[in-house]
Structure formats: structure tokens, C-alpha cells
Chain A
Amino acid sequence: GAVVSQHPSRVICKSGTSVKIECRSLDFQATTMFWYRQFPKQSLMLMATSNEGSKATYEQGVEKDKFLINHASLTLSTLTVTSAHPEDSSFYICSARPAGRLTYEQYFGPGTRLTVT
């Protein structure tokens, strides 16, 4: 149980285009999902916290107009990188916290590798 999927696993897009990444909790409902970014040889950096039915909370320094987050249901959150540039190339990882209980664990997706050419 507690599986989180991401789609796509890899994506290559041209500079200036937008790309959407999906994060799904497959066997549980998640009121809260988190989005991280990871550059090569670096640690995960929290970008934003996504709550179902409300606006996401962005960490300091993360452009909310560039990284659009939608958490429309209890099993799906999406991250859209708008007007992507090569410096947005990174490994994007989501995590989900199960709803309805005081659980401490977060379950992470397998990540999406974005390459902007």
C-alpha cells in the first residue's frame, strides 16, 4: 500500500513551452501533497505544499506564476512548469501524506526528470 505515481517519468521539452507533471496517490487519499526539486548532486529542495481544494503554499524564492500547482482531488496534484528554460531542467519529486490520520510518513513518487532544450 501507500503508492505514489508520477507521470511522465521523463520529459524533454523545448525552451518556452510548458510541461505538466502529474502526481497520484494510487491507494490512499491525500489532502496534502508536496513538490520538491532536485538538481544533480544536490539534496531535495521543497518547492511548495499543495492542499486539496485550496491554493498551494510556495517556499521562499519559488515563483508561483512559473510553477503552477493544482490539487483538484484527493488523489491528484499537478505541477505545471510554464515557459520552461534550460535552468528548469531538474528532477521533480512529489510526496503525499495520507488523509484522515495523524501519520508521520510521507510517501514519495518516483520522480520526473525534466530536460529543457
Chain B
Amino acid sequence: DAKTTQPTSMDCAEGRAANLPCNHSTISGNEYVYWYRQIHSQGPQYIIHGLKNNETNEMASLIITEDRKSSTLILPHATLRDTAVYYCIVRPAVYNQGGKLIFGQGTELSVKP
């Protein structure tokens, strides 16, 4: 699976947009970009995923560059409850490799009042 690089930590003011970058320069054509987050002492929570088009759901937006070598997760109006570690994961479609997820170190996002 392609390796991802994320900043170790970021701060964001409550109510502002949080933009979390992820670099995946070795991504291959059949690999998707997934985002999960983990609030302290809880299991990870799925946020969003995409292949090459930008995606949006009720939680966030995912912007993937045209060359697919990087992406940005956007939380449009961050709240204190969005404080968590955010993981960007690149992996093939689920029918390859049994669908396992390999977590990197992630970005620790702190939303401040």
C-alpha cells in the first residue's frame, strides 16, 4: 500500500474550517484515499473516502489533487468535539488484500475555543 505523510499536529479555532493535508505521492491508480478519525480512547470512525473526484458528505469534504499525490480533508466548521487524531489511509479496493486498513501516525487536531 502507498505510504502517507501527515503533519503530526494542528490547531484550529472553533467555528473555523479545519484543513488537514495528506501526502500520498506513491499512490497507484487503483488505490483509494480514506479518512478516519479517533477520538481519545475510542475506536476509529469512518469519515470519507475518494478515488479521484472531490467528495462531500455530512461530516467533511475531501479534495484530491488532479495528480492524486495529495489530498485535503476539510471540516467546514470545526467544533470542540472534532478534537481527535485524523488518519489518512491509502489502500486498494476492498476486493484486494481482504480490505485491511494500515494506519499511519495521523494528525492530532486540537480545536480550541
Residues of A participating in the B interface, judged by any CB pair closer than 8 Å: 4, 6, 32, 34, 36, 43-46, 49, 51, 57, 91, 93, 95, 97, 102-111, 113
Whether B106 contacts A97 by the Cβ 8 Å rule is: no
Whether B42 contacts A43 by the Cβ 8 Å rule is: no
Whether B45 contacts A32 by the Cβ 8 Å rule is: no
Give the B interface residue count (CB, 8 A): 23
Of residues A44, A45, A110, A113, which shows the largest number of chain B Cβ atoms within 10 Å of its Cβ? A44
Q: Which single residue of chain A is at the shortest CB-CB distance from B32? A: A104
When A and B form their complex, what is the total count of cross-chain residue pairs whose Cβ atoms lie within 8 Å?
A: 58
Whether A93 contacts B94 by the Cβ 8 Å rule is: no
- B111 CB, min distance to chain A CBs, angstroms: 20
Instruction: Report if B98 contacts A (CB, 8 A).
Output: yes
* A6→B41 CA distance, assembly (Å): 13
Q: Which single residue of chain B is at the shortest CB-CB distance from A109? A: B43
Whether A93 contacts B106 by the Cβ 8 Å rule is: no
